[in-house]
């Protein structure tokens, strides 16, 4: 059992690092993003008449991506299981360039200025803000026990952990759980649909794109209507997360085909998350060894 647990932890960290290292979700999200036909996506995004500009932009990007499906299927070079491959490769190049020119340099400067313990506390704070969203998805997936633990984590870390900056619950043996609406849809047997690379959000699929939109709306108690606070917190979360994975871009540069590496890493990571950490039989054990390169601060 210990060996199996180690493999699960190793695989989760390696694949999370591979995905987050290039373009962290405003999710995971982490989600976790955020983390995508059009009618369900629109319904997921338009949760109020005062939806923020960021959410409108995100939904419009997904609409454009999905409208490209027909053209992508008819384009030479797109494989049967990846009909949007040509678009996805172009968007992957854009995301990598954005990371290289904007996000990674900002994260390096942030890391030089902000001490490691402070960055860790900020990460704990954002994970704590996400706990109610995780709890709701636990219930939607029929996991009342996990929901109860998440409630306990939220109460303990919000009080004893000073608004979540200290992860007291983990120290007490209450392990962190991570669920999102994309995983909930998977539990409900909604098919993933084609692979889809989202602008700035990175690898996803149609089902998880809906999950990203839902996470953007409900993943934090800071409402989108509070535009300044929402934008500021989202920016801080992205930069803080990216700072944790500085250096992983070097590993990506060693891949003969970065797009395929990111695509397959994302697919395997999501499969493991949906299975609650159970590694599929066809998982690539060799990739798990990369965990040593992706340790958190």
pLDDT of 167 > 80? The answer is yes
What pLDDT shows up at residue 243? 96
Residues near 236 by Cβ (< 8 Å), separated by ≥ 6?
A: 122
Q: Is the pLDDT of residue 8 over 70?
A: no
198-219 per-position pLDDT tens digit = 999 999 999 999 999 998 888 7
Q: What is the pTM of this model?
A: 0.69
- Residue 249, pLDDT > 70, answer yes
pLDDT at 4 over 80: no
Residue 250 in this model has a pLDDT that exceeds 60: yes
Give the pair of three-digit tokens for residue 193: 């649909």
- Residue-wise pLDDT tens digits, 114-155: 999 999 999 999 999 999 999 999 999 999 999 999 999 999
pLDDT at 157: 98
Beta strands at 202-205 and 195-198: parallel, antiparallel or unpaired: antiparallel
**What's the CA gap between 128 and 183, in Å, rounded?**
19
Q: Indicate the pLDDT class of residue 278, thresholds 50, 70 and 90.
A: confident
**Domain extent listing, the chain:** 2-115+181-225+248-293
């Amino acid at each position: 059992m210990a060996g199996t647990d180690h493999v699960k932890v190793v695989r989760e960290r390696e694949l999370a690092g591979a995905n987050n290292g290039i373009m962290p979700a405003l999710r995971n999200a982490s989600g976790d993003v955020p983390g995508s036909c059009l009618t369900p996506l629109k319904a997921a995004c338009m949760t109020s008449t005062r939806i923020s500009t960021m959410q409108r932009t995100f939904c419009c990007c997904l609409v454009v991506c999905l409208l490209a499906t027909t053209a992508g299927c008819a384009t030479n070079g797109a494989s049967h299981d990846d009909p949007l491959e040509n678009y996805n490769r172009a968007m992957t190049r854009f995301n990598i360039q954005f990371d290289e020119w904007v996000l990674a340099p900002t994260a390096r400067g942030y890391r030089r200025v902000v001490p490691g313990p402070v960055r860790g506390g900020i990460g704990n704070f954002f994970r704590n803000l996400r706990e109610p969203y995780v709890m709701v998805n636990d219930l939607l997936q029929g996991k009342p026990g996990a929901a109860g633990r998440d409630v306990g984590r939220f109460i303990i870390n919000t009080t004893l952990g000073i608004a979540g900056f200290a992860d007291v619950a983990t120290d007490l043996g209450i392990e962190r759980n991570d669920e999102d609406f994309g995983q909930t849809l998977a539990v409900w047997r909604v098919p993933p649909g084609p692979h889809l690379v989202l602008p700035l959000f990175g690898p996803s699929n149609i089902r998880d794109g809906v999950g990203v939109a839902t996470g953007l709306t409900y993943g934090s108690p800071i409402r989108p209507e509070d535009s300044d606070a929402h934008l500021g917190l989202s920016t801080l979360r992205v930069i803080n997360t990216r700072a944790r994975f500085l250096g992983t871009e070097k590993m990506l540069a060693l891949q003969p085909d970065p797009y395929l590496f990111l695509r397959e890493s994302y697919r395997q990571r999501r499969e493991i998350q949906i299975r609650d950490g159970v590694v599929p039989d066809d998982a690539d054990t060799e990739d798990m060894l990369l965990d040593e390169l992706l340790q958190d601060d």
